[in-house]
Structure 1
Amino acid sequence: MPVTAEPHLPLPPELPLVDEPGGTDVDLLTQIIRFILTGVLSAVVDFGLYLVLWKVAGFDRDIAKACSFIVGTTTAYLINRRWTFKAEPSRARFIAVVVLYAITFAAQVGINALLNTTLPAMKLNIAGHQVALAVLVAFVVAQGVATVINFVVQRAVIFKMH
């Protein structure tokens, strides 16, 4: 009787980058710099989409934040896997990142909502829209907490996996 292979989930889409050889032997300082640069780009994607969905498209604030978080963290994962940590694709690693992002998603959306409701109302004019200063402060604090959690767990656990 012939043996058939079990069906498996496809790997997540990858950026078509040809870079240095894979491996996690990138030094800590290089990883931190690359992680920060990736984080800044991903935060711009996240915050920009957040404002567009919330202020332009009329989404509920927390729904807009949830959607922007997903897009921003997906951007970060794809770049960090290839560039920051130089890791090969792995289903186990991808599942671990999904679990990590679920945790940081809850932390980030929760911190964002809490600070938006508790910080005093001061207005800024951003691109012709009045935005509460609390929105920017809440975003930065929530992003900062998620960034620290993500770097520590990705460096110490996820990108050490084989």
Structure 2
Amino acid sequence: MVQDDAAAARSGLLGQLVRFAIVGGFSAIVDLSVYSLGLHLGLSTYVARALSFVAGTTTAYALNRRWAFQVEGGARRAGGFALLYGTTFFLILGVNALALAVLPESSWRITLAWAISQGLGTAWNFVMLRLVVFRN
């Protein structure tokens, strides 16, 4: 029985992780698209990154709550999500700025800085969403 519970927990975690990855991939496309559009329109990298983060985050919240973690909404969950993503916002902006400062000049520098900041933010968010915000 204990072994069955452990297998079910692993299976549930794996399913959650796969759904989170799909949501994350889609949200990253939204994020990068808004970032690229902002840069194309002449916004600074920081303003474009901030706007793209908000667009990607809004997408991620809606899809993660309903599909990846399959939990009902509520003010507490929304507040926890906002607090987590507010923290993540400063984390990704700092990582993006650091990456821009240390990466050599190239045609891929801005996109690579975005990808590095996005990757770190994504890992942080999965752990905190699972353990804190969308915990059943």
Aligned residue identity for 1:138: A
Whole-Å separation in 1 of the counterparts to 2:39 and 2:94: 17
* CA displacement, residues 40-96 of structure 1 (integer Å, 9 cap, x when unaligned): 1000100011010112x1111100100000110110010000000110011001001
**Structure 2 unaligned runs (5+)?**
1-10
Gaps of 5+ in 1: 1-25, 124-132
Which residue matches 2:48?
Answer: 64
Aligned equivalents of 1:99 and 1:30: distance in 2?
25
In structure 2, the residue matched to 1:144 is 119
Question: 1:104 deviation in Å?
Answer: 0.5
Supply the AA of the counterpart residue of 2:128.
V
Q: Show the counterpart of 1:49.
A: 34
Higher share of residues assigned strand = 1
For these two proteins, the number of residue pairs brought into alignment is 126
> What is the identity, as a one-letter code, of the residue corresponding to 1:94?
A
TM-score normalised according to structure 2 size:
0.89
The answer to which structure has the higher helix fraction is 2
In 2, the alpha carbon distance for the partners of 1:68 and 1:76 equals: 12
| Match among 4, 7, 12 for residue 27 of structure 1 | 12
TM-score normalised over the length of structure 1 = 0.75
Measure the CA separation in 2 of the matches of 1:91 and 1:70.
Answer: 19
Displacement over 6 Å in runs of 4+: none
Q: CA RMSD in A?
A: 1.2
